[in-house]
Structure 1
């Protein structure tokens, strides 16, 4: 098959498509990923062939150039988490396949809907697709080559205003808290916080007992795949669903002291089992080819 993937200019959305793109290539199919010019370098970092789209907005809600390339290349399927992908598929009578991430809602206008979110976290799930966490090229840092003496919690914050209340809440928790550089000047680090130059999730998450973030839904979904209880300091729709499933908490930093509770571990393990039971990308590829 010839398969065209259309990626909006959002790294997390591109990363959702990458495991399926790799599975297609490994099965012998011809795969190209289309995106806006400023996003081409990010596409190339995945190891796939990039198609530069000179027109269309960053979200690829529309793109005349995507349709133009589809008419030239004639793909058998267009896989996307962007609306322009559906238009491109319809223009060449190809199958329109949509991949849903944590923030997406089902679309009845496509031929197939693949969903990386576990069915229990979605009101109207599509065809389950096992989520394989991908964060781009990663090098295991030197500090991670030593075994942690205590349970490890990954702290990943985009909003620096959360550091102060979190450090206050975590100072008496029996755990090693790892966070990358970016802590505001003047804040005193608790003794159980380990400040590192880099904490790539792909390398760190398998060594963790829990995750704390401020609404990062890509990290939240990865934590689900690894079976890790999580605390979302900021309100998010996905974080609320994880909490409702008994696999995490949403709200105040003081919740970090509860992340080792057995009920949360059980809820997180149940979601991990749900992810593991979903068809792997290679199985989905075989079904699409048929």
Structure 2
């Protein structure tokens, strides 16, 4: 069969899809990855065939011209306590949050020309199955237009489904649905009616542990996450056993790629927290992130090193913002985690908050604080707890065993073949 993957503009989202795309390819299926022109080089470096759809997005310039990224009014309880709650909503209202999500994705990621471009390709190539990023709505729309089966592939929390479930009664009572208002006219131009699958797909590939949380009524297909870091060389020192506990600090690649400032924990706070700590600290920060900061003697800075190589080599803890790649790689390698979620609008509710609270409840990590309220003392205390208490490593090893019991991408292929045969319809 022919399988079309549709990603959003960030490498981290693309990298989640790559292992499943290669599993389908090595099973003998044709695979193409579609994304904005800005991501064309990254797609090419995965070794998979790719096509560019829509116009260049120039995210760095677009986001730089937008509103300030930190908005304390978005999460009053999180601002007062330093930690957020997954059941809360940005600005205290699910409707406001879904309006913000729809407007942002529509204006920044997928303007209307992208839909028509992808629909044109789908009519030409005729995929049997389309697998889309949760925000890549051109994928579900194109699939409906050509009669392909269509699924989403989540990264962490299925926030879109959560929001729509919370608003179901209000929408039924006549409250305008911003996603429907956006997608329905596009579908109508191609003679297709809107239904909920235009937003949520016909099923959802879910590469996260069950304790992250799932929305009732959504058909989830669990899959073990296989981390992919993209092409990179691994320095020789990574394979040398550390003489002290190794601690890794990262701020992720998505915001670095878009050069979003003001959303990550200040580097000076990170360095102050680990200065004097009896540990070998590896900080994956580029020159812009470092911005001339004084680096403590126990810290090694490196622009990038693949975590699939770094974390298996005796890593005792990792500090990160709840990014999907860091989380999955740490789980796979039984590394205890310290989570510091971003305060960039509603982003922390798409995974970091659930990851932080879930790891903490299972004794495999610490939810230190949100980035805007983090202090060096709080981060230092979280790291000390993990390094001094062996139960964190033991619980992380238990979670690794649970993850390894989930179906691998290769093992998921027969289920995708079956579901595609069930949901594919006659194509115009």
Q: Does 1:258 align with 2:375?
A: no
Q: 1:179 to 1:48 in 2, by over 3 A?
A: same
Q: 1:8 to 1:197 in 2, by over 3 A?
A: closer
Return the index of the structure with the highest Cα Rg.
2
Equivalent residue in structure 2 for 1:112, among 203, 209, 233: 203
1:194 to 291, 296, 300: 300
Q: What does residue 140 of structure 1 align with?
A: 234
Q: Could you tell me the TM-score, scaled by structure 1's length? A: 0.89
Q: Which residue of 2 aligns with 1:53?
A: 53
State which of 266, 269, 272 in structure 2 corresponds to 1:165. Answer: 269
Give the structure with the larger helix fraction: 2
Q: Secondary structure at the match of 1:206?
A: coil
Query: Counterpart of 2:347?
Result: none
Can you give the 5+ residue segments of structure 2 that lack an aligned partner in the other structure? 56-105, 162-195, 253-262, 343-351, 369-377, 419-428
The CA distance in 2 between the partners of 1:136 and 1:147, in whole Å, is 24
**C-alpha deviation, 1:61, in angstroms:** 7.5
Quick one: distance in 2 between partners of 1:188 and 1:263?
A: 31
Gap change, CA 1:186 and 1:197, over 3 Å in 2: closer
How far did 1:14 drift? 0.5
1:9 is aligned to 9
Q: Quote the offset at 1:58 in angstroms.
A: 5.5
7-16 or 234-243: bigger deviation: 234-243
Distance 1:201 1:121 in 2: 22
In structure 1, list runs of 5 or more residues that go unmatched: none
Q: Retained in 1: the 8 A contact 2:268–2:293?
A: no
The CA deviation string for residues 106-137 of structure 1, in whole angstroms up to 9 with x for no partner, is: 65622221101110112438221110011111
Alignment partners' CA distance in 2, 1:202 and 1:98: 25
Q: Which residue of 1 aligns with 2:81?
A: none
Counterparts of residues 39-188 of structure 1 (less than 5 Å): 39-54=39-54, 59-60=109-110, 63-81=115-133, 82-105=136-159, 107=161, 109=197, 110-124=201-215, 126-157=220-251, 162-180=266-284, 182=287, 183-188=290-295
TM-superposed deviation, 1:249: 0.9
1:288 aligned residue (404, 409, 416): 416
Pick 1 or 2: higher relative contact order, CA cutoff 8 A, min separation 6: 2
CA contact (8 A) 2:331 2:399 kept: yes
Instruction: Give distance in 1, aligned partners of 2:9 and 2:155.
Output: 14
**Corresponding residue SS for 2:34:** strand
Question: Between Structure 1 and Structure 2, which shows a larger proportion of strand residues?
Answer: 1
